[in-house]
């Protein structure tokens, strides 16, 4: 009888450990996913901000508002002063 109770307690504690490990894994995956999401979002926002002047210049060129020479000159200026 005593041996059976010990086996039952061991079985119960193993189940509890598995549940806690599962919860820990879920929390880890959520934190990892959130971190990756925030880093990617930050980098994409930074890229969009840095490329904005060049995008505006390209739009002006496509619309015919500026000539090819002016486009090349301004693009060179933007690339030189990017940093």
The predicted pLDDT at position 42 comes to: 85
The predicted pLDDT at position 22 comes to: 96
The predicted pLDDT at position 26 comes to: 97
From residue 71, alpha-carbon distances to 7, 50, 77, 83 in Å are 80, 18, 10, 20
C-alpha to C-alpha distance for 67 and 15, rounded to whole angstroms: 73
Tell me: the pLDDT tens digits for 7-64?
788 888 899 999 999 999 999 999 999 999 999 888 887 666 667 888 899 999 999 9
Q: Are 57 and 78 in contact (CB under 8 A)?
A: yes
Range of the domain at 29: 2-80
C-alpha to C-alpha distance for 59 and 51, rounded to whole angstroms: 12
Domain count across the chain: 1
Count the Cβ atoms, other than its own, within 10 Å of residue 17: 10
The predicted pLDDT at position 55 comes to: 86
Tell me: the pLDDT tens digits for 60-83?
999 999 999 999 999 999 888 875
């Amino acid at each position: 009888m005593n041996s059976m109770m010990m086996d039952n307690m061991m079985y119960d504690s193993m189940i509890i450990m598995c549940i806690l490990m599962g919860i820990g894994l879920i929390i880890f995956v959520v934190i990892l996913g959130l971190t990756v999401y925030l880093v990617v979002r930050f980098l994409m926002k930074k890229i969009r901000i840095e490329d904005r002047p060049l995008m505006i210049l390209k739009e002006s060129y496509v619309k015919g508002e500026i000539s090819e020479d002016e486009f090349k000159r301004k693009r060179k200026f933007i690339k030189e002063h990017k940093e």
